[in-house]
């Protein structure tokens, strides 16, 4: 019987036959299903093989399947990397599983595959094709993984999707990295962006840092050469806003600046610490509040007037922030 992968993911026990083939291009989904099946079968004896091992020692494999003890739980066989070469084994064990479960795993099997065709037609077997996830499914996985974390917003989810695409396996790896880094603290866009190694607009990053540091010469030089993309104005403002908020958190602390920067959570990236320290030394909470207000007013202005030249307005904001940084 052919099963939809999402139904099996919700409940692996809908697979009723002893012989199951799980295949497809979505290796992340295949691995997720394998983990779920393992969890359900943890009371059984688990035996893992790959195709080549069995083809070299067929007799040993058949003995393992056929040997049954009154005192032994049912066995669960996981067999990886199968292809059409394994069909002869499948045909032999179809009626000889003795109540044991046999799960076969493969990557892409074309329509002309004899193994795939056998499982699709045979009523005493189950088959689960695992196609690539769509964006909706990926976003659902991210939301479920980070459930309970404050700061989980649509831009945060979109950032993770941008980094991983529809690669479920990569999503799982990045989730572990994100959880370890934030460790229950609120998610924030700037640190997540760096953690995922997403390529930022480097010119804008330089403009931002020179402006917040109060370096008028460098700010002017980069403003002359940087191209501000109209569709990214939300990113520019968000990036500025997050940096100023983080600075305010450090500046308002009564502790030594370096100590505060080292203790802040989520942590400042080590490559960024020297720049961040320089910026913290030229700002106070009053100036930061004024800068944050300028960012907010700029966002309102841009959103309320679609005909306005967004690039000019963002550049003007950066110049104002640079001037404010050096103001006494």
211 and 294, same domain (yes or no): yes
CA atoms within 13 A on the CB side of 243: 31
Q: Could you tell me the pLDDT band of residue 269, with boundaries at 50, 70 and 90?
A: low
SS3 35: helix
- Other CB atoms within 10 Å distance of the CB of residue 147: 8
167 and 76, same domain (yes or no): no
Nearest by Cα to 49 from 1, 72, 82? 82
Last residue of a domain, one of 150, 180, 195: 195
Condensed to tens digits (0 to 9), the pLDDT of residues 7-58 reads 999 999 999 999 999 999 888 999 999 999 999 988 888 999 999 999 999 9
SS3 50: strand
Running DSSP on this structure, what letter comes out for residue 12?
Answer: G
Work out how many domains the chain is built from and give that number.
3
| Sheet with 45-50, edge to edge strand ranges | 45-50, 75-80, 101-106, 19-23, 125-129
Instruction: Write down the pLDDT at residue 31.
Output: 93
Last residue of a domain, one of 105, 129, 153: 129
30 and 79, same domain (yes or no): yes
CA–CA separation, 324 and 282 (whole Å): 10
185 and 293, same domain (yes or no): no
Report whether 295 contacts 317 (CB < 8 A): yes
Pairing state between β 101-106 and 125-129: unpaired
Between 119 and 66, the more confident residue is 119
Q: Which domain CATH number covers 276?
A: 1.20.272.10
Instruction: Give the range of the structural domain holding residue 189, as residue numbers without chain letter.
Output: 135-195
167 and 233, same domain (yes or no): no
Condensed to tens digits (0 to 9), the pLDDT of residues 238-258 reads 889 889 998 998 888 877 888
313 and 228, same domain (yes or no): yes
Q: Which domain CATH number covers 18?
A: 3.40.50.300
CA–CA separation, 235 and 299 (whole Å): 11
Mean predicted confidence (pLDDT) in 139-163: 89
187 pLDDT more than 90: yes
Radius of gyration of the chain (CA): 28
Last residue of a domain, one of 79, 99, 129: 129
SS3 240: helix
pTM of the model: 0.58
66 and 34, same domain (yes or no): yes
Running DSSP on this structure, what letter comes out for residue 139?
Answer: H
Structure token digits, residue 195: 């953690």
Instruction: Write down the pLDDT at residue 277.
Output: 92
CA atoms within 13 A on the CB side of 288: 20
29 and 114, same domain (yes or no): yes
CA–CA separation, 10 and 311 (whole Å): 48
199 pLDDT more than 60: no
Spell out a b/e string for 229-262, using b for 16 or more CB atoms within 10 Å of the CB, else e. eeebbebbbbbbbbbbebbbebbeeeeeeeebbe
Structure token digits, residue 279: 């910026």
Instruction: Write down the pLDDT at residue 51.
Output: 95
Mean predicted confidence (pLDDT) in 205-220: 93
Report whether 237 contacts 294 (CB < 8 A): no
CA–CA separation, 265 and 119 (whole Å): 52
124 and 16, same domain (yes or no): yes
Condensed to tens digits (0 to 9), the pLDDT of residues 83-130 reads 999 999 999 998 888 889 999 999 989 999 999 999 999 999 999 999
CA–CA separation, 30 and 169 (whole Å): 9
Report whether 218 contacts 210 (CB < 8 A): yes
| Phi and psi, residue 37, nearest 5° | -65, -40
Structure token digits, residue 147: 């459930």
Interacting residues of 80 by C-beta distance below 8 A, sequence separation 6+: 48, 49, 50, 51, 105
Nearest by Cα to 246 from 261, 235, 262? 261
SS3 48: strand
């Amino acid at each position: 019987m052919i099963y939809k992968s999402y139904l099996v993911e919700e409940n692996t026990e809908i697979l009723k036959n002893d012989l199951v083939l799980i295949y497809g291009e979505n290796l992340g989904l295949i691995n997720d299903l394998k983990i779920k099946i393992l969890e359900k079968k943890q009371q059984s004896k688990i035996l893992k093989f790959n195709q080549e091992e069995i083809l070299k020692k067929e007799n040993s494999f058949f003995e393992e399947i056929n040997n049954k003890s009154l005192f032994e739980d049912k066995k669960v066989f996981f067999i990886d990397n199968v292809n059409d070469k394994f069909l002869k084994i499948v045909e032999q064990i179809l009626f000889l599983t003795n109540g044991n479960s046999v799960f076969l795993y493969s990557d892409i099997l074309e329509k002309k595959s004899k193994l795939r065709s056998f499982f699709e037609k045979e009523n005493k077997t189950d088959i689960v094709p695992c196609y690539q996830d769509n964006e909706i499914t990926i976003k659902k996985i991210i939301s479920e993984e980070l459930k309970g974390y404050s700061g989980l917003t649509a831009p945060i989810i979109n950032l993770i999707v941008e980094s991983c695409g529809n690669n479920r396996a990569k999503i799982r790896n990045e989730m572990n990295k994100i959880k370890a880094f934030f460790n229950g603290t609120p998610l924030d866009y700037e640190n997540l962006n760096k953690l995922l190694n997403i390529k930022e607009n480097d010119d804008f990053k330089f403009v931002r840092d020179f402006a917040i540091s109060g370096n008028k010469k460098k700010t002017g030089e980069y403003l002359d050469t940087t191209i501000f993309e109209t569709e990214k104005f939300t990113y520019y403002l968000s990036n500025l806003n997050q940096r100023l908020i983080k600075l305010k958190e450090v500046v308002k602390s009564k502790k030594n600046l370096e100590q505060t920067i080292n203790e802040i959570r989520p942590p400042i990236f080590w490559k960024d610490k020297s720049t961040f320290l320089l910026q913290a030394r030229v700002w106070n909470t009053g100036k930061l509040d004024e800068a944050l207000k300028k960012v907010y007013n700029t966002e309102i202005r841009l959103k309320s007037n679609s005909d306005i030249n967004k690039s000019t307005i963002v550049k003007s904001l950066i110049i104002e922030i640079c001037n404010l940084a050096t103001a006494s």
